[in-house]
Amino acid sequence: MNRYMVTKPGVWTGRISGQQLYLHEKVKCINLEKENKDKKKAIAFLGYACDVGIKRNQGRIGAGKGPDAIRNALGKLPNHLEKNVDFLDVGTLECQDGKLENIQTHLSEKVALLLEKGTFPIVIGGGHDIAYGHYNGIKKYVGPNTSIGIINFDAHFDLRSDSNGGNSGTPFYQIAQDCKIDTSTFNYLCLGIRWDANDRTLFETATKLGVDYIENKDFTMQNTSIVFRKLQDFITNVDHIYVTIDLDGFSSAYAPGVSAPSPIGFSPNIVLKSLESILNSKKLISIDIAEMNPKYDIDNHTAKLAASLVHYIMHAI
């Protein structure tokens, strides 16, 4: 059984100013299933507490506790949002029965609902199987005649076959197969791909599906002109952009608390510069952050990195 849980305000903690100087003082925890009033100019934080897909993909489990770890780190950060912008915590989806497909469907419904209410969703996981449910929610909202471009910051393509069921390594393959069925275009750009993190068949699948990517060795601040050109070409050809950030793409010096850590990953600086370019396009519709695993974090480094990324995005949109 999947459970929808309303967030207890006590999860959000930090300095007390009495002036909403910190995000824990700004956030409003609501029950999305009972909230009927439309929220304009709102940012919605939704948790995806599921690591079933990671377990199926033979990764290190523990990411099910990722959403609250990021909430705790984010609440301590300063609030620079305008007073007329609501910052909402709309709860967490939890997978209790091991049925990944059910919680992905549940997630798609929640994302579509948030977009219908005029809010900007920030979804926090949990395994990267978050992407399949998230994308389907966006697709449900925008309709069949609108193109969605997926930009994935990741060391992995996550294009494994789902012939034995979906997992954290299959979401973009599943999306590609759905696109074939409904004859829509599969628009997928992956930034930070590592040769030592993807086998030969995954590169062959990426080529077959027309996936665009930049290898990790080229996804650096020294190559910003190449990165920005690739981003611009990709963004120009779609109506909306969905961004998904897999924390295991970062070097483990920045993100040790993930299911598949690596010292040879990208840096936060190039991700922030890329996000700036994406945000400037005004096409970003939704974003998620995946694979936060507090079980293996060191001094909350990964949670703080994820929180800083969310902080940057929510103040820039």
Cβ–Cβ < 8 Å for 49, 93: yes
DSSP string, 53-100: HHHHTT----GGGHHHHHHHHHHTSBP---TTSEEEEEEEEEE-SS-H
The Cα–Cα gap between 271 and 220 comes to: 9
Q: Which residues of 241-256 are buried (b: 16+ CB within 10 A; e: fewer)?
A: bbbbbbbbbbbbebbb
Sign of CA dihedral 21, 267, 290, 287: positive
Report, in angstroms and rounded to the nearest whole number, the Rg of the chain calculated over CA atoms.
Answer: 18
Cβ–Cβ < 8 Å for 148, 238: yes
The Cα–Cα gap between 301 and 180 comes to: 40
> Which of 203, 207, 124, 123 is CA-nearest to residue 156?
203
Residues of each annotated binding site for Mn(2+): 128, 154, 156, 158, 246, 248
The Cα–Cα gap between 160 and 205 comes to: 8
Residues of each annotated binding site: 128, 154, 156, 158, 246, 248
